Amino acid sequence: MITPKITTKFDHQSGSYLTINSAKVYYEVIGQTVRNAPVMIVLHSSFSSMTEFNLITPKLTSAYQVIGIDSRGHGKSTLGTEDVTFQLLQEDVEAVIAHLNITEFSLLGNNAGGVVAYRLAAKLPSQVRDVTAISAFWNCHLLEDANQISASHKDGTWNNANAEGLEAHTTLNPEPNAEAVAKAVSQMWVDCSPSGFPDQRIAQITSPLLVVRGEQDLFVTEEHLTSLTALVPSVSFLTIPTAGGNVIKDQTEIFLRHWDLFLTIDFPKRY
């Protein structure tokens, strides 16, 4: 039974660790405490932490029990010794789900978290109520700028856009090693093997799916998202005006307004 602390934001204080293989994965549960409250799992972007969702958690916690997970090497989670892949991050989330005895949940993933959300929704269709992926690639071969993304971190540095994530890593992580994390993440993003992006397996998603991008996002293009239509006919698309790759930060209120409509529609599940 989940017994979350009653709070509306992640604080990197009220959570717990779950040991998964060689890593200690940190998670927090906030929001609704009533029995059978719907669960929303939020998965953050690369070089960030769960607190990137604090702009919207006050809204989320009014209706959901919200679970945040720091991915390996980010926030308070240690990196471990295994090769970091999207599949490994997916398995970490599955371990937290099992540990908390969660049987049904919604997913919100941003950037790398969106890739993990795709993988989870494809693998656990009977458990996922709905999934929202923001600025998230699904097909490795459409990732034309993968080498550019990797190159931005291959020197072991976190760029200025990730300053908050770097601070969380260096001040909160029990085993801080920013260079090792940067290397692991850059390798994860260019992994075109089955342990990487979901690719054709995304067709296994039967839950309502909303795919979101910022109008000014230079990496995740409109073409990339609309290519999903043939595999997931029920997918919905949302382009946020004037937003870049950080939709939640760039246009918080616009995103929340449209996202709320998606969450409240009673979509039939596809079987």
Check: CB of residue 178 under 8 Å from CB of residue 71.
Answer: no
Residue 209 lies in a domain: yes
Please state which of the ranges 25-29, 120-124, 128-132, 214-218 shows the lowest mean pLDDT.
214-218
* pLDDT tens string 214-270: 999 888 888 877 888 889 987 999 999 999 989 999 999 999 999 999 998 765 454
What is the domain count for the chain?
1
With the C-alpha atoms ordered 170, 172, 174, 180, is the resulting torsion angle positive or negative? negative
Tell me the mean pLDDT in the region 106-110: 97
Phi-psi region of 229 (alpha: psi -120 to 50; beta: other; left: phi over 0): alpha
Residue 2 lies in a domain: no
What pTM, to 2 d.p., does this model score? 0.92
In a domain, 166, yes or no: yes
In a domain, 271, yes or no: no
Q: In what order do the strands lie in the sheet with 23-31?
A: 16-20, 23-31, 65-69, 39-43, 105-110, 128-134, 209-214, 236-240
For residue 216, which amino acid is it?
A: Q
Instruction: Kindly state whether residue 53 falls inside one of the protein's structural domains.
Output: yes
**Inside any domain, residue 269:** no
CATH of the domain at 107: 3.40.50.1820
Q: Where would I find the beta strands (DSSP E) of 10-80?
A: 16-20, 23-31, 39-43, 65-69
Q: Within a domain: residue 194?
A: yes
* Least confident range of 167-171, 203-207, 208-212: 167-171
In a domain, 195, yes or no: yes
Domain that holds residue 21: 16-264
